């Protein structure tokens, strides 16, 4: 027996064990791959008979598996010499199982998103009632459960920012930044929070670090201009506005910033 036929025999021999482990996709794939090897190989009479017996046993085992029947209720048929027809059934069964997996994944994703939304709404309700410690408990638990979801942490930070809880917002943004250190939008938000906290020096450092990653973000330059405006550094405001406009000449807010800085400078 050739190496390929030995491989085919091995694949078919493992089907029963895979089914017992509820690894339906792997079991069907093994039959599928085994049939490919059988169909493309010239078989001697004794090899034909051996594989016919093995395939009959495999099909019987598959038909007897109740969990597999939930996905594919049709009886799988096989007769010696009808290996090609069985191969086509395996192709169909693989598609059915793949669709089931896709639906399960989508269902899980929908459930996760619903759980996130419920927790966000619960935390927001605490924020609305100014129950800040309770809000943090809800949001901290959520961030621990989805620690790699930077958008979620940024969303929570925005909620604290709107509630004017700037230190809390800063801490959630810092957590998000640890998982996505090159996210420009996080630097922008941290800069905004620190500006509201009057920590101008730290805010400027964050903006400079962000500019090392992306020099062509007009919003970074614009927000730096707002930072300098809060400090009355009108020359730097003008420079920031001009840099933003160089990147995006139609940036209306940056144009207003430039005009305002020019007036302040007596230009």
Over residues 80-129, the pLDDT tens digits come to 888 899 889 888 888 888 887 766 666 666 677 788 888 899 999 999 99
Beta strand spans in 98-241 (E):
none
Checking if the pLDDT of 267 tops 60, the result is: no
The pLDDT, as a whole number, for residue 150 is 87
In a domain, 82, yes or no: yes
In a domain, 99, yes or no: yes
Checking if the pLDDT of 29 tops 60, the result is: yes
| Alpha carbons 178 and 185: distance in angstroms, whole number | 13
The pLDDT, as a whole number, for residue 106 is 65
| Alpha carbons 77 and 39: distance in angstroms, whole number | 17
| Alpha carbons 208 and 188: distance in angstroms, whole number | 11
In a domain, 142, yes or no: no
In a domain, 62, yes or no: yes
Checking if the pLDDT of 253 tops 90, the result is: yes
93 touches 77 (CB < 8 A)? no
In a domain, 214, yes or no: no
Beta strand spans in the chain (E):
none
Checking if the pLDDT of 130 tops 80, the result is: yes
Q: Please give the share of the chain, as a percent, with pLDDT higher than 70.
A: 96
In a domain, 216, yes or no: no
Checking if the pLDDT of 138 tops 90, the result is: yes
| Alpha carbons 179 and 44: distance in angstroms, whole number | 60
Checking if the pLDDT of 49 tops 70, the result is: yes
pTM: 0.55
Query: Where does residue 111 rank: exposed (0-12), middle (13-18), buried (19+ CB within 10 A)?
Result: exposed
In a domain, 263, yes or no: no
Enclosing domain of residue 56 = 3-104
Checking if the pLDDT of 229 tops 70, the result is: yes
Query: Taking the chain, what is the end-to-end CA distance rounded to the nearest angstrom?
Result: 92
Q: What is the tally of structural domains in the chain? A: 1
In a domain, 112, yes or no: no
Residue range 149-167: mean pLDDT, rounded:
90
């Amino acid at each position: 027996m050739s190496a390929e036929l030995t491989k085919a025999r091995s694949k078919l021999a493992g089907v029963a064990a895979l089914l017992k482990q509820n690894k339906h996709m792997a079991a069907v794939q093994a039959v599928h791959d085994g049939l490919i090897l059988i169909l493309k190989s010239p078989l001697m009479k004794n090899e034909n008979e051996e594989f016919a017996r093995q395939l009959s046993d495999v099909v019987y085992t598959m038909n007897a598996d109740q969990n597999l029947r939930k996905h594919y209720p049709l009886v799988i048929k096989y007769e010696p010499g009808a290996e090609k027809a069985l191969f086509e059934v395996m192709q169909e069964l693989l598609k059915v199982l793949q669709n089931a997996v896709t639906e399960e994944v989508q269902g899980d994703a929908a459930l996760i998103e619903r759980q996130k939304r419920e927790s966000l709404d619960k935390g927001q309700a605490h924020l609305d009632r100014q129950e800040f410690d309770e809000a943090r408990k809800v949001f901290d638990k959520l961030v621990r459960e989805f620690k790699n979801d930077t958008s979620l942490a940024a969303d929570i930070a925005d909620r604290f920012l709107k509630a004017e809880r700037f230190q809390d917002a800063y801490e959630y943004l810092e957590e998000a930044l640890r998982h996505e250190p090159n996210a420009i939008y996080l630097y922008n938000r941290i800069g905004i929070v620190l500006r509201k906290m009057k920590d101008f020096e730290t805010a400027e450092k964050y903006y400079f670090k962000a500019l090392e990653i992306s020099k062509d973000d007009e919003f970074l330059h614009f927000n730096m201009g707002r930072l300098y405006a809060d400090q009355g550094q009108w020359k730097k405001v003008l420079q920031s506005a001009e840099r933003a406009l160089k990147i995006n000449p139609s940036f209306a807010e940056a144009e207003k910033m430039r005009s305002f800085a020019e007036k302040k400078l007596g230009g």
